[in-house]
Amino acid sequence: MLSQITPFASVYGPVSSWRLGLSLGIDPIGPQSTCSFRCVYCQLGEIEHLSPMRQIFVSTQTIEQDLQPFAPWDVDSVTVSGSGEPTLALNLGHILIMAKSLTGKPVTVLTNGSLLDNPEVRADLAIADQVAVKLDAVWPDSFRRINRPATGIRLQQIWSGLDQFRQQYSGHLAIQTMLLSEWNEQQQAEYIAMMAKLKPDEIQLNTPTRPKPIRHELDARGNHTGGSRPYPVHLLKQVSTAALESFCDRIQRATGVSTRYPHP
Q: Mean pLDDT throughout 234-257? A: 92
**141 burial class (0-12, 13-18, 19+ CB within 10 angstroms)?**
exposed
Helix ranges restricted to H, the chain: 60-67, 92-103, 119-125, 140-147, 155-168, 185-198, 241-255
pLDDT digit string, tens, across residues 79-130: 999 899 999 999 999 999 999 999 999 999 999 999 999 999 999 999 999 9
Whole-model pTM over 0.75:
yes
Task: For residue 2, tell me if it sits in a domain.
Answer: no
- With H, G, I as helix, E, B as strand and everything else as coil, classify residue 69: helix
The tens digit of pLDDT for each residue in 163-183 reads 999 999 999 999 999 999 999
Query: Has residue 89 been placed in a domain?
Result: yes
pLDDT for the residue numbered 233: 73
Is residue 5 in some structural domain? no
Q: Is the separation of the CB atoms in 217 and 45 below 8 Å?
A: yes
Domains in the chain, number: 1
Domain assignment present for 3: no
Query: What whole-number distance in Å separates Cα of residue 142 and Cα of residue 195?
Result: 18
The CATH number that applies at residue 228 is 3.20.20.70
User: Which range marks the domain in which residue 124 is found?
Assistant: 11-260
In a domain, 140, yes or no: yes
Confidence of residue 3 (pLDDT cuts 50, 70, 90): very low
pLDDT tens track for 69-79:
999 989 999 99
